[in-house]
Amino acid sequence: MDARRAAAPEAGGATPFREVLPTADFIARWRAFVRDVYGYAEQGPFLRVPRIAGRAVLSYLPLLNYTDVSPDGVPELAALARGRTYQVRVLTPHDGEYRAGDTVTMRIDLRKPSFDDVHAAIAKRTRRYLRDVQRAGFELRVGTDPRLVHDFSEVFRDVMHRLGTPPFSERLFRALPAFMDARFYVMYRGVEAASAAVVVHDAALAWVPWSGTRFAYLEERPGLPMYWTALRDAYEAGRTTFDFGRSPYGAGTYEFKERWGAVPVKIVTAGAASAVYAKYALASRVWKRLPRSVTDRVGPALCRYLPDL
């Protein structure tokens, strides 16, 4: 598939950080990763995502905030769907108009002379909190060790229940490092994981697809040194863009990332388009009320049938 993709990042960071897209290699690895975990069938450039009710959705590609397809490439992708329901999330870096609730990804420009310059772009209040947490007795561990992956998954389940969203299975997280350049960051208080994130690296891009902090530790902000270290690691690895992940424009997560110096880039869903945050608002309220014993058991299996995740 050609699909008039946006230009790949050039040597020296010539592509503006807002416009950096995943490489073809990243997309191929991600396709293999999701196909391996969920057993989705391939249909041309798409993976076929079954739904509990209704016809399957042709997704390019599941679980990605956006792909290597530019807005100009959507018509060709639509033609390849041949009338079937399809979905692709597209980054639109030149769309500067935002409304509350718009889906955006939050990006930090790493093309600075030194990491001190990246650090200086962080809001003063966040830098002050960061210094406080660094003295608070938390320990950060980074890697892909199975124990780290398990502890990340436990934090993720806690966060997803609080947000009213089904959690992915631990199997998905265990499989990730076999396909992608991924590393898990977990903050501990003693033996308990308090905050966790996973960062996936590409040629010019470091992306945080999933992260969060247990409810019991929110006021202590243990995630701050974790994100700071992930940001530093991305800078030292030569990435030009640190993608803090998807948020609704103007929401609490948006404001948190903005204080790190991140700026919004709008994401548009083409095909089976939906305002994902509004679409699942009622379901999220119901899900939050269910006991963890139910959500932890049912949620991972349900995720296979939800193309909007």
More confident residue, 53 or 181: 181
The CATH topology of domain 103-268 is Aminopeptidase (3.40.630)
Q: Give 307's pLDDT tier (boundaries 50, 70, 90).
A: confident
Q: Give 284's pLDDT tier (boundaries 50, 70, 90).
A: confident
Is-contact 210 226, C-beta < 8 A?
no
**Distance between alpha carbon 93 and the CA centroid of its chain, in Å?**
17
pLDDT of residue 276: 58
Q: What is the dihedral of CA 268, 274, 277, 282, to 10 degrees?
A: 180
| pTM (predicted TM-score) | 0.92
Q: Does 272 score more than 50 pLDDT?
A: yes
62-71: pLDDT as tens digits: 999 999 999 9
Alpha-carbon distance 109 to 67, whole Å? 19
pLDDT of residue 145: 96
Alpha-carbon distance 16 to 66, whole Å? 17
Q: Does 3 score more than 70 pLDDT?
A: no
Q: Give 280's pLDDT tier (boundaries 50, 70, 90).
A: low
